[in-house]
Amino acid sequence: MHITQLNWECLLHLFSFLDKNSRKSLAKTCHKLLQVFQDPSLWSLLNFHSPAELQKDNFLLGPALRYLSICWYSERVKVCNIEDWMKNNFQRDFCNRHENTVSDFLLEVCNRCPNLLSLTLSGCGHVTDDCILLLLKNCPNLRTLKLENCVRITDRTLEAATLLGGSLQTLHVDFCRNITQTGLERVREKRPSITLRAERSANMIPDNKPEKKVLLEKASRKSVQ
């Protein structure tokens, strides 16, 4: 019996056990398997392990997507975590190659995946508050938002979660160094029903823009004098 003789449900079940690359390879063998690959019900869950994976054509992005995870665990993440004004030319060049990759992908999610229920981002050092705010606006059913080691995320994301995350039940902002204790307390005050976690975030040293650092140094010198 040839694989294409299986009924649609069996083929979908078979594809569900394959990773994205294997699904794409199998889809190239014949038109029927390509149609299976393009079935929206096959793409309710997407996991990515680096920004480079977001630029491949081995997945389908659409309204069926419910669970999305982009988790980059690599030594290269440390480069993205360096403040922009402290990066050398090599580090800037490295970041320029993928600086907007995750953000651009999330914009596509905003436009094409209104039924998203869960988003997990880890090591995405270039994702900004504006990007998360837009996603909360366009994905009103979002229940779980987990952000880890996303250094550009600030209290603006926390505020957006309280105002726009009407369906939000779980909010994690672990190791996000520009989150403050004040921002966390506001979330607990305004949305006590949200399960909030912020491991190490409010205890980390936040970024300061160069002009702010100068002002702080001047204030410190004056206090010493």
Tell me: the pLDDT tens digits for 193-209? 999 999 988 877 777 76
Long-range pairs, 102-107, Cβ under 8 A, ≥24: 102/51, 102/54, 102/70, 102/126, 102/127, 103/127, 103/128, 103/131, 105/54, 105/70, 106/131, 106/134, 106/135, 107/131, 107/134
Token pair of 25, please? 């390879």
pLDDT value, residue 222: 47
Q: What is d(CA 88, CA 96) in angstroms, rounded to the nearest whole number? A: 12
Q: What is d(CA 185, CA 192) in angstroms, rounded to the nearest whole number? A: 10
**How many CB atoms within 10 Å of residue 119?**
22
32 pLDDT above the threshold of 70: yes
172 pLDDT above the threshold of 90: yes
User: How sure is the predictor about 3, in pLDDT bands with cuts at 50, 70 and 90?
Assistant: confident
Q: What is d(CA 178, CA 10) in angstroms, rounded to the nearest whole number? A: 48
pLDDT value, residue 1: 66
Q: Is residue 72 within 8 Å of residue 97, measured between CB atoms?
A: no
| Mean pLDDT calculated for residue range 42-58 | 95
Q: What is d(CA 158, CA 150) in angstroms, rounded to the nearest whole number? A: 13
The pTM of the full predicted model, rounded to 2 decimals, is: 0.86
Q: What is d(CA 67, CA 142) in angstroms, rounded to the nearest whole number? A: 10
Proportion of the chain above pLDDT 90, given as a percent: 74
Question: Residue 140 burial (CB < 10 Å; 0-12/13-18/19+)?
Answer: middle
pLDDT value, residue 74: 84
| Mean pLDDT calculated for residue range 86-103 | 88
User: Angle at which helices 101-112 and 129-138 pack, to 10 degrees?
Assistant: 10
pLDDT value, residue 215: 45
Which string of b and e fits 19-57 if b means at least 16 CB within 10 Å?
ebeebbebbeeeeebeebbeeeebbbebebebbebbeee
| Mean pLDDT calculated for residue range 140-153 | 96
Mean pLDDT check: name the lowest of 7-11, 12-16, 20-24, 81-85: 81-85
More confident residue, 205 or 176: 176
Q: What is d(CA 135, CA 164) in angstroms, rounded to the nearest whole number? A: 10
96 pLDDT above the threshold of 90: no
